[in-house]
Amino acid sequence: MSAIIETQHLTHIYGHGLPDATTALEDVSFAVEEGDFVGIIGSTGSGKSTLISHFNGLLKPTSGRVLVGGEDIWADPKQIRRFRFMVGMVMQYPEYQLFEESVYKDIAFGPKNMGLDAAEIDRRVRAAAEFCGIPADHLERSPFELSGGQKRRVAIAGVMAMEPRILVLDEPAAGLDPEGRDTILSQIKDYHRRTGVTVLLVSHSMEDIARYADKVLVMDQRRIAMYDRVDKVFARAPELLELGLSVPQVTKIFLKLKEMGLDIDTDVYTMPYAVRTVLAALEKKKGVAGC
Amino acid sequence: MLKDITIGQHFPGDSVVHTLDPRIKLLVTMLYIVVLFMASNPLGIALSLAMLAALYAAAKIPPRLITRSLKPILPVIAFTAVLNLFFITGAGEPLFELFFLKIYREGVEYAALMAVRVIALIAGTSLLTYTTSPLVLTDAIERVLSPLGRLHLPVHELAMMMTIALRFIPTLIEETDKIMNAQKARGALLDSGTLTERVQALVPVLIPLFISAFRRADELAMAMECRCYRGGEGRTRLKVLKCGTRDWLCLAVCLAAFALILSTRALWQVAA
């Protein structure tokens, strides 16, 4: 597998050269494999948003390079739009970017900018709407009549309709009720599974990361603190807690159990895995007792 | 890009200029504008620039900010200067002639004077907002205008509207930036293309911006009502403005400086 996104010594300084310059990213190098589902976590101000804004060239690196599909995206600044279509970006609270008179037209905005023909645009709009669970009869309605969660879905569909190879989402579930959160995230996961698109998901919820991501990138103080498979990262719970982050609630319980003297694995991060671990531990205990 | 706009921004500090009574600052700023336009000779303009520089130094505001706040209005300044350049006719021979375009010595002088004046005007008024928090500033405006309240002018309400408008400039700029990024991410052409393309490209930015501005206004009104805001009548203040000896002294110094600047008019005429 080849790296679809790669950063090489990426540094970003806001207001570079001015006295109030602040460094937001420092020497960040990492690579995302095609088809991965990567969760990005980090406390506020750790540089997550700055990092993801580099992937589609909304920000230009102060130094270092950003490679998408093996190409330096800033090799020719005039070509930047090509990478914007390749890396679909869903910003925080994306429902505030809706502007068209109908849901259909709003979702079609991205594909239209790509210069596709009407039939292709129509196919993409309908496919994206379906993925995001937008009923066909909503397409002709004004996006402003919809509820918050529905608007969010329309905004996400607007990015999906560009059929990017990489989908970057900045807290797509922020401010939604628990049901809305689950729906949106599982739709994204489903989309990932069915299309094989690489997904980068920024989230503050460890539960969400644990449930949906394959890999986790932990940002801390403008640098990458950890970047590994989900179980390996959550196994380093004490370090995560030190960074001011939390671990999923199940992991917390297992850490507590270990602390209480139980012989049990602590790299547990999802419910089904927890059940298996508990059963295995019980089995072991029975075996010991049997002897 | 949009972050360069510094008009209406406040830079906290504890210098003499920062702590001066806002009413006096307001008065001095208004007088400064009048003086700028009355000082019609290079010496007077030079003196008013010197005064401005002294005030900026006293306020410890980095001069870099002036250039930054001037950048967006540079085209306006250039336009005014060029208009003046061609439209002022002088008594002597034109310096330059091309078909119907004639440039006289007076035109050049006047254009330069006008450009410097506008720059000083912006820099001077910016100093007021740089050193005075919007809250204090409106308080001052309200106090200065309060006599008009007797004529049933809603002075407090006007002042409140001004505060809110000032307060929301940075917020809306940030919002615009975010929306522009979101639309750029969907392939909107905001920084390239022909003029018509660019104007069309603004629609996806302006509509969400307006909607969000209305939403914010609505939320703000609700929040104000929740805190029992009901206009200015019978409202008392936590901090009552008081003019101390130092404030009067500063006013006296500024007035003396203005007198000096205006006296150059007489001086210049005598010299000429």
Are residues B186 and A58, on separate chains, in Cβ contact within 8 Å?
Answer: no
**Most confidently modeled of A10-24, A127-141, A263-277?**
A127-141
Provide the pLDDT confidence category of residue A7 given band limits of 50, 70 and 90.
very high
How many other β-carbons are positioned within 10 Å of the β-carbon of residue B174? 12
d(CA B209, CA B186): 17
d(CA B175, CA A96): 10
Q: What is the pLDDT of residue A21?
A: 81
- Which residues of A touch chain B, with CB atoms under 8 Å apart? 18-19, 53, 56, 58, 78, 81, 84-85, 88-89, 91, 94, 96-99, 109-110, 113-114, 144, 158-159, 162
Q: What is the pLDDT of residue A215?
A: 93
CA distance B203 to chain A (A): 8
CATH code 3.40.50.300 region(s) in chain A: 1-75+165-244
Class of domain A1-75+165-244: alpha beta
- Where does residue B99 fall: left (phi above 0), alpha (psi -120 to 50 degrees), or beta otherwise? left
Dihedral (CA of A136, A137, A140, A143) sign:
negative
Orientation angle between helical segments B42-59 and B22-38, nearest 10 degrees: 160
Provide the pLDDT confidence category of residue A11 given band limits of 50, 70 and 90.
very high
C-beta of residue A89 within 8 angstroms of C-beta of residue A56: yes
| A223 beta partners | A220
Q: Would you call B1 an interface residue with chain A, using a CB distance cutoff of 8 Å?
A: no
Q: What is the pLDDT of residue B1?
A: 44
Dihedral (CA of B132, B135, B138, B142) sign:
negative
Q: What average pLDDT does chain A have? A: 87
**Mean per-residue pLDDT, A238-245:** 84
CA distance A113 to chain B (A): 6
- The DSSP element (H or E) to which A83 belongs, if any, is helix A80-86
Q: What is the pLDDT of residue B262?
A: 87
Provide the pLDDT confidence category of residue A106 given band limits of 50, 70 and 90.
very high
d(CA B124, CA B33): 8
DSSP tag of A166: E
DSSP tag of A146: S
Residues of A in contact with B191 (CB under 8 A): none
Q: Provide CB contacts within 8 A for A20, sequence distance 6+.
A: none
**Mean per-residue pLDDT, A136-145:** 91
CA distance A228 to chain B (A): 28
Q: What are the DSSP E strand ranges found in chain A? A: 3-14, 22-33, 37-42, 63-68, 71-72, 87-90, 166-170, 198-202, 215-220, 223-229
SS3 of residue A117 by DSSP: coil
Cα nearest neighbour of A49 on chain B: B178
CB pairs under 8 A between A and B: 59
Model ipTM value: 0.84
- Which amino acid appears at position A82 of this protein? R
Tell me which residue in A18, A96, A144 faces B179 most closely, judged by beta carbons.
Answer: A96
Instruction: Assign 3-class secondary structure to chain B.
Output: CHHHCCCCCCCCCCCHHHHCCHHHHHHHHHHHHHHHHHCCCHHHHHHHHHHHHHHHHHHCCCCHHHHHHHHHHHHHHHHHHHHHHHHCCCCCCCCEEECCEEECHHHHHHHHHHHHHHHHHHHHHHHHHHHCCHHHHHHHHHHHHHHHHHHCCCHHHHHHHHHHHHHHHHHHHHHHHHHHHHHHHCCCCCCCCCHHHHHHHHHHHHHHHHHHHHHHHHHHHHHHHHCCCCCCCCCCCCCCCCCCHHHHHHHHHHHHHHHHHHHHHHHHHHHC
d(CA A103, CA A138): 7
Are residues B186 and A96, on separate chains, in Cβ contact within 8 Å?
Answer: no
What global pTM score does this model have? 0.73
Q: Would you call B2 an interface residue with chain A, using a CB distance cutoff of 8 Å?
A: no
Q: Would you call B232 an interface residue with chain A, using a CB distance cutoff of 8 Å?
A: no
HSE of A77, CA atoms in CB hemisphere, 13 A: 6
Structure tokens at B3: 């972050």
Give the full edge-to-edge strand order of the sheet including A22-33. Answer: A22-33, A3-14, A63-68, A71-72
Are residues B182 and A94, on separate chains, in Cβ contact within 8 Å?
Answer: yes
Residues of A in contact with B186 (CB under 8 A): 84, 97, 109-110, 113, 158-159, 162
Candidates A111, A84, A91; CA nearest to A100 is A111
Structure tokens at A218: 């932990």
Cα nearest neighbour of A53 on chain B: B181
pLDDT below 50 — which residues of chain B?
1
Structure tokens at A195: 């299309």
Cα nearest neighbour of B193 on chain A: A78
